[in-house]
Amino acid sequence: MKLSRITPRLRAVLLAGTAAGLLASCSTLNYYSQAAQGQLELLSDARPIDDWIADPGTSSKLRLRLETARQIRRFAVSEMALPDNNSYKNYASLKRPYVLWNVVATPELSLKPLQWCFPVAGCVNYRGYYSKDAALAYAKELKAEGNDVEVGGVPAYSTLGWFSDPLISTFINYPDAELARMIFHELAHQIVYVQGDSQFNESFASTVEEAGVERWMERFGNPAMRDAYARYKSRKHDFLGLLLKYRKALEQNYGVVDRSDNEKRAVKVRLFQELKDEYQVLKGNWGGYAGYDRFFEQPLSNAHLASIATYEDFVPAFRAMLKRDGSFSRFYKSVRQLAELDRKERHRILKALVPPAPAAPLMVQRSDAPTMGGR
């Protein structure tokens, strides 16, 4: 979409964002301005997949990836009842590794993330910047206030159906199953999104992505692809288990009433060092796979663990709903009904769908397997 073809809907959204910014501080206005400009540039750079494929200047590798993405997109509509709109039917090539960078922050001795509220997305636990430098500058401000802060790159995001989200160079070269996972997840956000309930939104989208990839692999996968995706899921499960283990330990540390802040700080340092040490053991079990090393690029802090549970908490409950309903269409109807309830009742119903699993510590065994480097 070119800037000269701004639709009435797009203009209305941009005006709403600008008006919201004008009612706030200069820093907030600057934030809305960079967000609007970044979204416009992304949409302006995107061209239809057919145009890219027909372009003689398009590499054979990119042409193949776009054809695969187009097949995944069709599957999302025909087999998963996901929206049949223009999202992921265009492609944008960016000259940066991520489409944007999210800033997450928590107090020094708490895992409860700070929140920011926006006109469309509601209240969320992050602020997104299209410039890494801008994200780092804001992170510096939050650190100066005494917060723990993380800046993380984001390969894709959903505009919740307000715009036609494009395929982007930041994730187009993912392996086939992971590319499908990404597309299914982001399209799921267009089905149901509840303002201010990231736990609900992300668990639902994660359930759709997992179930969708399973079905897509049955249709289009081969033994090598299935094996690679099984390894990916196993490593992800192990890594999330490791993070949740230390998140729980940190929560317990911060909750000790008769422990001084200095003592809590000392325990916090020790726990993060143990997390890093245990991760190295986990890598050994994986044969040296280094795909999660980027998580440790910045000094670890509460902010790294603040949102870990958000994506997984209600997945077992949503999986049970999908199995009960028997089809994606009926499942989406049930989820929409849940979305109409207040947050407390919605969460109560989801928790009741799956009995609590017995607590068991993650056991990381040492391995003598040779190290092989990254992906």
Alpha-carbon span 87 to 85, nearest angstrom: 6
- Residue 26: the pLDDT is 65
Is the entire prediction scored with pTM above 0.85? no
Alpha-carbon span 126 to 117, nearest angstrom: 9
8 Å CB contact between 104 and 126: yes
User: How do the pLDDT tens digits run along the chain, 375 residues long?
Assistant: 333 344 444 444 444 444 444 444 566 888 989 999 999 999 999 999 999 999 999 999 999 999 999 999 999 999 999 999 999 999 999 999 999 999 999 999 999 999 998 776 778 889 999 999 999 999 999 999 999 999 999 999 999 988 999 999 999 999 999 999 999 999 999 999 999 898 899 999 999 999 999 999 999 999 999 999 999 999 999 999 999 999 999 999 999 999 999 999 999 999 999 999 999 999 999 999 999 999 998 899 999 998 786 667 899 999 999 999 999 999 999 999 999 999 999 999 999 998 665 444 333 333 332 222 333
Instruction: Return the DSSP state at 96.
Output: S
- Residue 25: the pLDDT is 53
Taking Cα atoms as reference points, which of 29, 15, 26, 31 lies closest to residue 131?
A: 31
- Residue 119: the pLDDT is 74
- Residue 356: the pLDDT is 63
8 Å CB contact between 153 and 128: no
Exposure of 215 in the CB half-sphere (CA atoms within 13 A): 17
- Entry field: residues in the chain: 375
For the chain, give every domain's residue range.
192-375
- Residue 309: the pLDDT is 65
Sign of CA dihedral 287, 224, 168, 117: negative
